[in-house]
Amino acid sequence: MTLMGMASGMAAEPVNLWISSFQDKVYYEKMVEQYRAKVDPDFSAQIQAFGFREMPDKLAIAIKTGNQPPDIVQLDEVLFGSYLSGEVPFVNLADRVKASGLDQGIVPQRLKLFTQGDAIYGLPQSLSAMVLYYRTDLFKEHGINPADLATWDAFMEQGRDLAVKNQALIALDPTYFEILLRQKGSDWFDRAGRMFPDEAEAESVMRWLHNLNDEGIGLIPERASIFDPVFFSSMVNYGEVLTIIGADWYGLDMMQQFSPELKGKWGVMPLPAWKDRFGVPGPRTSTFAGQGLLIYKNSKKIDAAWKFIEWVIRDTDANVERFVGGNSFPAYEPAWKDPRMHQPSAYFSGQKLGDILSQLAPELPEVIMHPKRPQAVFLFQENFFSSLMYGQISPRETMRQMRTMLKQ
C-alpha cells in the first residue's frame, strides 16, 4: 500500500466541537452522522456541551492555557461582542463565505451578526425573529381576537381590561427592553459606539415596561426570567399570563420542553407594532440572541471544520432537522423552500410557524455589535430591571449609571 493509500485509510483526527446547550448536542451528534454518510465517511467529531453562561469561561481558559481548545465553537451572538475589544480569537471566514455563496443565502441582517468591519467570524444558525406567543384557549375565554392586537397601543388597552379582572396579559423579562428598543429602530449602541444613541426612545421603552408592571398588565416571573424552567411550572402552566415575547428558538425549544402539557393551547402572531409620530405602524418583529458557529484561529483542522460548518448551514435536511426537531428556524433562506418547513404545528394549534417566520424575515432589524454589549445586557438584567419595574430608579438615572459603570 502506498503512503497516500495508507493515509486515506486512516481515520481522521476528530474535530473538537463545543456546543452551548445540551439540546444542540443531540442535534450535532445527528449532523455528524449525516455528514459522514453524505460527504466524508472519515469525518469524526468530539462534541462537548456547556451551558450558555458557562461557555465563555470555558473558552477563555482553553484559549489561555492551550489545553484542548475547540476547533468549532457554538457561541451566542449576545456574547460574541466581548471578543471584539482586542485580537479576535476566531478565523476570518469572509473569503470562504463568499466563495461558497453563503453570503447570498443567509438573511443579510443575520449574516452581519458575527462580523467586524469586512471580517466574518461566524455563521448564524437561527433567524431569531421575535413573535408573540399567546394562549389560544385563554384568549377565547376572555374574548380576545389576536387580530385586534396589531399595535402596542391596542395591546395596552386590552391589558387594562384584563387587569381589572386580575388577569395579567404578558410576562415581563429584562430582554424585552432590547427587543422593543430594536423594534423601534434603535439599539444599545450606534455604529459610532455611543451608548443609548436615542435617549428619548430608550426612556420611552423603559417607561412603557414600567407601566405594564405598574398597571398589572404585565407580571414579573418569580426569578425575573422567562428562561427559567420555574417560570413555566409556577406561572405559565397555571395561566397567570396570556402572552410571551420570544424568538423562534424560544417557542420551538424552551416552551415545548418545559411545558409539553400545553400542546395545542398556544398560538403565534407577529409582535404588535409601534406607531411613529405620524401614527404609522412599524415593523412587526425584532430580534435577540441566537447561536452561531465559529472556528478557533489556532485550530489545526480549520479546513475540516469549515467544510462541516458550510455543509450544516447549507444542507436542506440539516436545516429541516433543526426546525422540525425543536431547535430553531434557520437563517439560510434556500432551505425555506422545503415543504417540511411549512407544516402545521400541533403545539401551536395547527398554525404554520414557518410561514409566519419567513414572512417576518424582511422586517428583521440589524443588531449593532459592540464590545460592551454583553456587559450592557447582563448589567441591565441584574442591576436595573427590577428597580425600574418598581419605580425605584428612573430611566434617565438608569442610563446615566449604566454609562458610568461601563466606562470603568
* Residues 401-408, mean pLDDT to the nearest whole number: 94
* DSSP string for 168-224: EEEE--THHHHHHHHHTT--SB-TT--BSSSHHHHHHHHHHHHHHHHTTSEE--TTS
Confidence tier at 51 by pLDDT (50, 70, 90): confident
Average model confidence (pLDDT) for the chain? 94
Report d(CA 306, CA 303) in Å as an integer.
5
Could you tell me the pLDDT band of residue 6, with boundaries at 50, 70 and 90?
Answer: very low
For the stretch 288-298, pLDDT in tens is 999 999 999 99
Residues 6+ apart with CB under 8 A from 354: 323, 329, 336, 341, 342, 343
- Here the CATH number for the domain that contains residue 239 is 3.40.190.10
> Are 185 and 250 part of one and the same domain?
yes
Lowest mean pLDDT among 8-22, 106-120, 210-224: 8-22
Residues 384 and 249 reside in one and the same domain = yes
End-to-end Cα spacing for the chain: 64
**DSSP-based three-state secondary structure for 115:** strand
In a domain, 4, yes or no: no
C-beta neighbour count of 294 within 10 angstroms: 26
Q: For residue 408, what pLDDT band results from cuts at 50, 70 and 90?
A: confident
Average pLDDT value for residue range 129-157: 98
Identify the CA nearest to 314 among candidates 44, 39, 48: 39
pLDDT of residue 26: 92
Q: Are residues 207 and 253 in the same domain?
A: yes
Pairing of strands 168-171, 218-219: parallel
Per-residue pLDDT tens over the stretch 248-283: 999 999 999 999 999 999 999 999 999 999 999 999
Measure the CA dihedral 34/35/37/38, to 10°. Answer: 110
In sequence order, the 6+-apart residues with CB closer than 8 A to the CB of 374 are 78, 79, 81, 82
Total domains in the chain come to 2
* Residue 5 pLDDT greater than 70, yes or no: no
Kindly state the percentage of the chain with pLDDT values over 70: 97
Taking the model in full, what pTM does it have? 0.94
What angle do helix axes 316-324 and 302-314 make, rounded to 10 degrees? 70
By three-state DSSP, how is residue 264 classified?
A: coil
- The answer to whether residue 111 scores a pLDDT higher than 90 is yes
Last residue of a domain, one of 297, 321, 337: 337
- Does residue 355 lie within any of the structural domains? no
Mean pLDDT of 381-407: 97
Mark whether 298 and 205 lie in a shared domain.
no
Is 346 within a domain?
Answer: no
Q: Which domain holds residue 64?
A: 9-127+288-337
What residues pair up with 49 in beta bridges, in sequence order? Answer: 19
Query: 3-state DSSP call for residue 287?
Result: strand
Lowest-confidence range among 1-15, 30-44, 372-386? 1-15
Interval 203-224 mean pLDDT:
96
142 and 272, same domain (yes or no)? yes
For Cα atoms 165, 168, 174, give the angle at the middle one, nearest 5 degrees. 160
Q: With 60 as the cut, is the pLDDT of residue 2 above it?
A: no
pLDDT band for position 11 (50/70/90)? low
Residues 117 and 135 in one domain: no
**Rounded to 5 degrees, what are φ and ψ at 106?**
-85, 140
Asked if residue 387 belongs to a domain, the reply is yes
Is the pLDDT reported for residue 81 higher than 80? yes
Neighbouring-strand partners of residue 293: 74, 123
Do 326 and 381 fall into the same domain?
A: no
Which SS3 state, helix, strand or coil, does residue 169 take?
Answer: strand
250 is written with which cell numbers? Answer: 424560544
Mean pLDDT is lowest, of 2-11, 46-55, 93-102, 135-144, for: 2-11
Residue pair 355/342 in contact by the 8 Å Cβ criterion: yes
Same domain? For 78 and 105 the reply is yes
Q: Does residue 113 sit in the same domain as residue 38?
A: yes
Looking at residue 386, its pLDDT comes to: 96
Specify burial of residue 2 (Cβ count, 10 A radius: 0-12, 13-18, 19+): exposed
β-strand pairing of 122-124 with 291-295: antiparallel
Helices (H), 325-391: 353-360, 373-379, 385-389
Distance CA 328, CA 291 (A): 10
The domain boundary, picked from 314, 337, 360, lies at 337
Q: 387-405: b or e for each residue (b if 16 or more CB lie within 10 Å)?
A: ebbeeebebeebbeebeee
**Residue 350 domain-assigned (yes or no):** no
> If you average pLDDT over residues 42-47, what whole number do you get?
96
pLDDT at residue number 9: 44
Asked if the model's pLDDT at residue 367 lies above 60, the reply is yes
Are residue 304 and residue 390 in the same domain, yes or no? no
Question: Grid coordinates 449593532 are at which residue?
Answer: 368
CA dist 172 to 229, 247, 314, 338, Å?
15, 15, 36, 35
Q: Report the alpha-carbon distance of residue 275 to residue 257 in Å, rounded.
A: 35
Give the pLDDT band (50/70/90) at residue 90.
Answer: very high
154 lies in some domain: yes
Q: Could you tell me if 141 and 248 lie in one domain?
A: yes
Looking at the structure, tell me whether residues 146 and 253 fall in a common domain: yes
Decide if 353 is inside a domain: no
Helix and strand totals (H; E) in the chain:
20, 12
